[in-house]
Chain A
Amino acid sequence: MAEAIPTPGSSAALRWQLRQTVELTARTLEMTFPRQGRSAAARRALATQMHSVGNRSMPFMVVTMAFIGAIISFQTALQSQEILPDLSQVGATFTKLLVRDLAASVGALPLATRVGAGIAAEIGSMVVTEQVDALRMNNADPVETLVVPRFVACVVMGTVVLVIGGFVAFGAGVVVGQLAFGIEARTFASTALLNGGDVALGLAKCATYGGAIALVSSERGLSAFGGSEGVGRATTEAVVGSCFAIIVLNVLLSTAGYFLLPAL
């Protein structure tokens, strides 16, 4: 007997959703590295998704990360001047925070709203208009056709966007620090507090968050039902679920990083 889909919003539905996401993750990872290489159509689909996740997210992410960098720099300096005799270490601390955590973890949240919503709406619309059923009838696996290109694009271009966003946040932080508190720009560029582990952890977070956004949003899209209302519900759940996943993964990665890649 097949298992019935639980009532939306119930605890059983949350458990079911979590299990679906884990299964989708396993299948996506399995199909991400095809033994016989990618077909021309698959390469085209991947290029389209990379353009959508990367290029089309860039203006929104650049502006958002500039504001985020400015706010973090301002607040860090403001609070530091209450307890520190001088602000000479603020620049380096800001850079370390940005590289090790904030560029990825804070930047991934606006990225989830833009990319996650798009993925869930697109796949959800295909589900409710039966295009996903048509794919299955034509022996085209929806995971391979729809999820894998989005997953790869989110991992690769999500990382690129978040790294660029990190540089933009850095630049905005330098400007605000200098104009508002007179902190010298060269102290921000100091690598005294940075090590390879910080960079590795930051990049690992970027790639993991990108993948999580794609998987959570695709799972919600594939589970959509009930016409436009169902697509709307799936889109909302994709954004909420992606943001929640980013926060939970941040705790896990930061904990692992604390032990495996300790800060200086």
Chain B
Amino acid sequence: MAIRFVDVHKRFGTKEVLAGVTLRIEDGECFFIVGASGVGKSVLIKHLVGLLRPDAGDVFLGDQEVSRLSEDALRPVRKRCAMVFQSSTLFDSMTCAENVALPLRKHRRMAMPDALAEARRRLEAVRMERFADALPAALGDGLRKRVAIARALTLEPEVVLFDEPTTSLDPVSARRTDQLIATLCAQEGVTAVVVSHDLTSIFGIADRVAMLYKGGVRFLGTPEEFRASDDPVVRQFVRGEAEGPMEV
């Protein structure tokens, strides 16, 4: 399902985070949004599922404009469009299986035993079935993230938003997460929008990359074009140089 951000503005207090972002993400694409910390990457993707509302501009999911929908009207949007948050956001009072069962119970009104059985199958898919009855607090960051991914995929969404999915993961877990995202796009036709700083992920699995800078889109293109860009700001980001024109 294609996604469009049209001239999106967002301000928090006196700080203008998004100053007219326009982007189009194609159906089935693995699209990375990159940029310095605090530049508004997570803010941008949260507009797609109504977790934030733009001060101005439009956000389209397919042909549907979603930025002005009520919470009730956003329910079907959030069934089709899942999100893996930066900090896993598992609920500590629930077991891993109960966390994964939550969208089934709330979105599909499934009975608890059926939802738990389906949740266990979902945990198997991310090799986490042995932790089904564990509380999230007992798991490390990487394992928690895998449970969060299982929860996001439970409803078989058409679009998945990943907010820094490999941050705080060890390199092996990070590459496994990349594989999972790439498989989702290539084999299941899911549109993946990934906010990331991880250059290995970007150059490994991205179809296209957008770089946000000073509230707008500074770069838009393929990973190869991103690597070869002669824009000094983009070059500094790609090379990870401490000195340069980039204002952080």
Chain B 52-66 interface mask (CB, 8 Å, partner A; 1/0): 011110000000000
Interface size class of A (residues with CB under 8 A): 20 to 34
Chain A 1-36 interface mask (CB, 8 Å, partner B; 1/0): 111111110000000000000000000000000000
Chain A 120-149 interface mask (CB, 8 Å, partner B; 1/0): 000000000111011011111100000000
* Minimum Cβ distance to chain A for residue B166 (Å): 17
Q: How far apart sit A222 and B38, CA to CA, in the bound complex (Å)?
A: 21
B196 contacts across to A, CB distance below 8 A: none
Question: A40 — nearest CB in chain B belongs to which residue?
Answer: B112
- B102 in complex: contacting residue of A1, A5, A140, CB < 8 Å: A140
Question: B94 — nearest CB in chain A belongs to which residue?
Answer: A41
A5 contacts across to B, CB distance below 8 A: 11-13
- B51 in complex: contacting residue of A7, A136, A140, CB < 8 Å: A136
A2 contacts B53, C-beta separation under 8 Å: yes
A2 contacts B67, C-beta separation under 8 Å: yes
Chain B 125-166 interface mask (CB, 8 Å, partner A; 1/0): 000000000000000000000000001000000000000000
Q: How far apart sit A160 and B23, CA to CA, in the bound complex (Å)?
A: 56
A139 contacts B78, C-beta separation under 8 Å: yes
B229 contacts across to A, CB distance below 8 A: none
Question: When A and B form their complex, what is the total count of cross-chain residue pairs whose Cβ atoms lie within 8 Å?
Answer: 61
- A8 in complex: contacting residue of B11, B13, B46, CB < 8 Å: B13
Which residue, of B14, B55, B56, B89, has the highest number of chain A Cβ atoms within 10 A? B89
A225 interfacial by beta-carbon distance below 8 Å? yes
- B87 in complex: contacting residue of A7, A129, A140, CB < 8 Å: A129
Please judge, given known A-B contacts A129-B89, A130-B89, whether A139 and B13 are in contact too, CB under 8 Å.
no
B56 contacts A131, C-beta separation under 8 Å: no
Question: A13 — nearest CB in chain B belongs to which residue?
Answer: B13
Question: A6 — nearest CB in chain B belongs to which residue?
Answer: B13
B89 contacts A133, C-beta separation under 8 Å: yes
Residues in A153-193 with C-beta less than 8 Å from chain B: none
Residues in A82-134 with C-beta less than 8 Å from chain B: 129-131, 133-134
A130 contacts across to B, CB distance below 8 A: 85-87, 89
Chain A 201-244 interface mask (CB, 8 Å, partner B; 1/0): 00000000000000000000000010000000000000000000
Question: B54 — nearest CB in chain A belongs to which residue?
Answer: A2
B75 contacts across to A, CB distance below 8 A: 139
B82 interfacial by beta-carbon distance below 8 Å? yes
* Minimum Cβ distance to chain B for residue A55 (Å): 19
B181 interfacial by beta-carbon distance below 8 Å? no
B51 contacts A137, C-beta separation under 8 Å: yes
* Minimum Cβ distance to chain A for residue B77 (Å): 10
B195 interfacial by beta-carbon distance below 8 Å? no
Q: How far apart sit A134 and B161, CA to CA, in the bound complex (Å)?
A: 12
- B89 in complex: contacting residue of A1, A3, A7, A131, CB < 8 Å: A131
A3 contacts across to B, CB distance below 8 A: 55
Please judge, given known A-B contacts A130-B89, A136-B78, A140-B102, whether A2 and B107 are in contact too, CB under 8 Å.
no
B211 interfacial by beta-carbon distance below 8 Å? no
The chain A residues found within 8 Å of chain B, CB to CB, are 1-8, 129-131, 133-134, 136-141, 225
The 4 closest A-B pairs by CB, nearest first: A2-B53, A134-B89, A139-B106, A130-B85
Could you list 14 examples of A-B contacts with CB < 8 Å?
A2-B53, A2-B55, A2-B67, A4-B11, A4-B55, A5-B12, A130-B89, A133-B46, A134-B83, A134-B85, A134-B91, A137-B49, A139-B78, A140-B102
Since A2-B67, A130-B89, A134-B85 are in contact, a sample of 15 more A-B pairs with Cβ atoms closer than 8 Å, ordered by chain A residue number, is A4-B55, A5-B11, A7-B13, A8-B13, A129-B87, A130-B85, A131-B91, A133-B89, A134-B91, A136-B50, A137-B51, A137-B82, A138-B151, A139-B79, A140-B102
